[in-house]
Amino acid sequence: MTSFLDKITWNSDGLVPAIAQDHESGRILMMAWMNAESLSLTVEENRAIYWSRSRQKLWRKGEESGHVQHIKEIRLDCDSDVIILTVDQVGGIACHTGRESCFYFVLENGKWKAVDPVLKNQKDIYS
Q: For the whole model, what pTM was predicted?
A: 0.93
Q: What's the residue count for the chain?
A: 127
Q: Report percent pLDDT > 90 for the chain.
A: 94
Which architecture, in CATH terms, is 4-92? Roll (3.10)
Distances from the Cα of 29 to the Cα of 5, 13, 37, 67, 95, angstroms: 24, 24, 22, 12, 8
Mean pLDDT on 49-55: 96
| Model confidence at 49: pLDDT above 90 | yes
Give the DSSP letter of residue 92: G
| Whether the Cβ atoms of residue 33 and residue 14 lie closer than 8 Å to each other | no
Sign of CA dihedral 44, 96, 94, 104: negative
Give the pLDDT score at 126: 83
Find how far residue 103's CA is from the centre of its chain.
12
Distances from the Cα of 48 to the Cα of 35, 40, 61, 112, angstroms: 12, 10, 6, 29
Per-residue pLDDT tens over the stretch 72-127: 999 999 999 999 999 999 999 999 999 999 999 999 999 999 999 999 998 888 87
